[in-house]
């Protein structure tokens, strides 16, 4: 009896099984990648890193900072094109960054100062690889157009806008490719502010460089303050575990769970119960009444802290309702120079601050935002509507609710009672102010 058909079937079966193994392996390779969900906020757009390593964006997109191949702004999340295996994201006013698990950095958006880092000044609406960077472990973006990267050897690299020496390379020339920040080693964390940069070293000290207007970021005496073209140690700080850079102020989290701040304080963003600038030594002050803090974030005139009980606290300006405590003001909205609790928010795993808004990811993967929503940066409701208390981010395409840990939640997912600024209220305030101006002028 011939065995050829049986032999042929055996070969065919083995071939099919091999294809199946390959397909399963490829599927498992993509499914096996996991990372901690993360948020990045900026002037008018937001990035969300999902646990599967993909990135989504919402908000303003004139410079292509959403990275979806268009320049059309969005009020609900869209997927950033061509990115996977991402472990960290960062956002500035008009450009975005992503760090991949292989240690490479990718960037997109406006590129007028070279902040995309691809050797050109061409705007990009999809991600491109930053030139010459490998072995990167952390990234940050300065709101006025510079980018930072920390390498595994503890060195810091920078590119983009450099008018105020925020690149730290000893010059004031913009760079469209990464340059090494001089005099820094043993760095464990970085943060980019408006026109300044911060680095945390492994000995718990904080170093700063860039714009030193009235000495509010560098330390030292206000009468002799000059812009620092290379890193200088911030006096009065030790035992620091994390740093955050705002528009004109900075925060440091110490190992004992306390938060310390310095810089501009016109809206109470230092949180020390005053509105006094901290521009002379000792320039670092403790944010009042905070302990057990595990993470910090800083915006334009806004500061945020996440406590170990999963609650979020905010202080500073509240013009766009960015404190998230539900307060409403007619002429001058209430600001706070001490931390207040963000309402209706607990079980939080991560926080971030945009320019005038706050963001949080809860342990269940839901994403929440409060404050300004002029460009759809909260991804929650129609634009031009400030949010007084946290609102849940909508899902892709506006359907259901976004889930940073998996598939979007269905539309019937329960959400907290959220206070929005009604258009009627906005018009009422306008008419009152107009009437007052007409009577007096």
To the nearest whole number, what is the mean pLDDT of the chain? Answer: 85
Read off the pLDDT band of 434 (50, 70, 90). Answer: very low
Is 189's pLDDT higher than 60?
yes
Read off the pLDDT band of 228 (50, 70, 90). Answer: confident
10 vs 321 pLDDT, higher one: 321
- Calculate mean pLDDT across residues 280-286: 64
Which range is least confidently modeled, 131-135, 262-266, 284-288, 401-405?
284-288
- Calculate mean pLDDT across residues 306-322: 96
User: Residue 281 has what pLDDT?
Assistant: 43
Is 352's pLDDT higher than 90?
yes
229 contacts 195 by C-beta, under 8 angstroms:
no
Tens of pLDDT along 332-346? 568 999 999 999 999
User: Residue 266 has what pLDDT?
Assistant: 92
Read off the pLDDT band of 213 (50, 70, 90). Answer: very low
What 8-state DSSP symbol labels residue 420?
Answer: B
Tens of pLDDT along 46-63? 999 999 999 999 999 999
Domain boundaries, the chain: 54-440
Number of other residues whose CB lies within 10 A of the CB of residue 11: 10
26 vs 300 pLDDT, higher one: 300
User: Residue 138 has what pLDDT?
Assistant: 98
Read off the pLDDT band of 284 (50, 70, 90). Answer: confident
Most confident of 26-30, 268-272, 384-388: 268-272
Is 134's pLDDT higher than 60?
yes
- Calculate mean pLDDT across residues 217-222: 45
Which range is least confidently modeled, 19-28, 108-117, 320-329, 349-358?
19-28
- Calculate mean pLDDT across residues 361-366: 97
Q: Which candidate, 218, 150, 156, 147, places its Cα nearest to that of 183?
A: 156
Which helix or strand (DSSP H or E) is residue 433 part of? helix 423-440
Number of other residues whose CB lies within 10 A of the CB of residue 417: 7
Determine the CATH number of domain 54-440.
2.130.10.30
281 vs 257 pLDDT, higher one: 257
Is 421's pLDDT higher than 60?
no
Read off the pLDDT band of 439 (50, 70, 90). Answer: low
214 vs 317 pLDDT, higher one: 317
- Residue 366's contacts (CB-CB under 8 Å, 6 or more residues apart) are 392, 393, 401, 402, 403, 404, 409, 413
User: Residue 384 has what pLDDT?
Assistant: 72
Read off the pLDDT band of 382 (50, 70, 90). Answer: low
Is 197's pLDDT higher than 60?
yes
What 8-state DSSP symbol labels residue 438?
Answer: H
User: Residue 90 has what pLDDT?
Assistant: 98
- What φ, ψ does residue 392 adopt, rounded to 5°? -80, 135
Q: Model's pTM, two decimal places?
A: 0.87
Residue with tokens 């000792």, as numbered in its chain: 282
Question: What is the rounded distance in angstroms from the CA atom of residue 23 to the CA atom of residue 300?
Answer: 48
Q: Which long-range contacts (CB under 8 A, 24 or more apart) does 78-81 make?
A: 78/396, 79/54, 79/55, 79/396, 80/47, 80/54, 80/55, 80/56, 80/108, 80/127, 81/126, 81/127
Query: Is residue 15 classed as helix, strand or coil in its secondary structure?
Result: helix
């Amino acid at each position: 009896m011939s065995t050829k058909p049986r032999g042929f079937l055996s070969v065919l079966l083995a071939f099919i099984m091999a294809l199946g193994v390959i397909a399963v392996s490829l599927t498992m390779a993509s499914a096996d990648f996991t990372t901690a969900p993360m948020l990045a906020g900026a002037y008018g757009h937001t990035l969300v890193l999902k646990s599967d390593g993909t990135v989504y964006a919402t908000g303003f997109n004139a410079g292509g900072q959403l990275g979806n191949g268009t320049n059309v702004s969005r009020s609900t999340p869209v997927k950033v094109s061509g990115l996977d295996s991402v472990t960290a994201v960062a956002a500035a006013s008009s450009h975005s960054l992503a760090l991949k698990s292989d240690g490479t950095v990718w960037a997109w958006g406006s590129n007028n100062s070279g902040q995309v880092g691809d050797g050109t000044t061409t705007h990009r609406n999809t991600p491109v690889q930053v030139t010459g960077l490998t072995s990167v472990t952390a990234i940050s973006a300065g709101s006025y157009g510079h980018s930072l990267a920390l390498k595994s050897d503890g060195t810091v690299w920078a590119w983009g806008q450099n008018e105020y020496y925020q690149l730290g390379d000893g010059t004031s020339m913009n760079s469209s490719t990464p340059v090494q920040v001089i005099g820094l080693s043993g760095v464990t964390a970085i943060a980019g502010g408006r026109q300044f940069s911060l680095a945390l070293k492994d000995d718990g000290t904080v170093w700063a460089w860039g714009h030193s207007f009235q000495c509010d970021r560098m330390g030292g005496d206000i009468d002799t303050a000059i812009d620092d073209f290379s890193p200088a140690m911030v006096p009065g700080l030790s035992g620091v575990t994390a740093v955050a850079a705002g528009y004109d102020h900075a925060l440091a989290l110490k190992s004992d769970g306390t938060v310390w701040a310095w810089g501009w304080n016109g809206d109470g963003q230092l949180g020390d119960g005053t509105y006094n600038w901290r521009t002379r030594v000792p320039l670092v002050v403790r944010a009042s009444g905070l302990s057990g803090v595990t993470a910090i974030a800083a915006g334009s005139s806004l500061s945020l802290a996440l406590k170990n009980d999963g609650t979020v606290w905010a202080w500073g300006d509240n013009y766009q309702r960015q404190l998230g405590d539900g307060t409403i003001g007619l002429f001058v909205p209430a600001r706070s120079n001490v931390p207040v609790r963000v309402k209706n928010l607990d079980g939080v795993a991560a926080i971030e601050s945009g320019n005038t808004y706050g963001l949080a990811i809860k342990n269940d993967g839901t994403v929440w935002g409060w404050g300004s929503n002029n460009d759809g940066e909260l991804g929650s409701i129609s634009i031009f509507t400030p949010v007084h208390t946290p609102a849940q981010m909508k899902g892709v395409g506006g359907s259901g609710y976004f889930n940073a840990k998996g598939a979007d939640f269905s539309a019937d997912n329960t959400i907290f009672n959220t206070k929005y600024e009604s258009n009627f209220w906005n018009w009422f305030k306008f008419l009152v102010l107009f009437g007052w101006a007409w009577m007096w002028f």
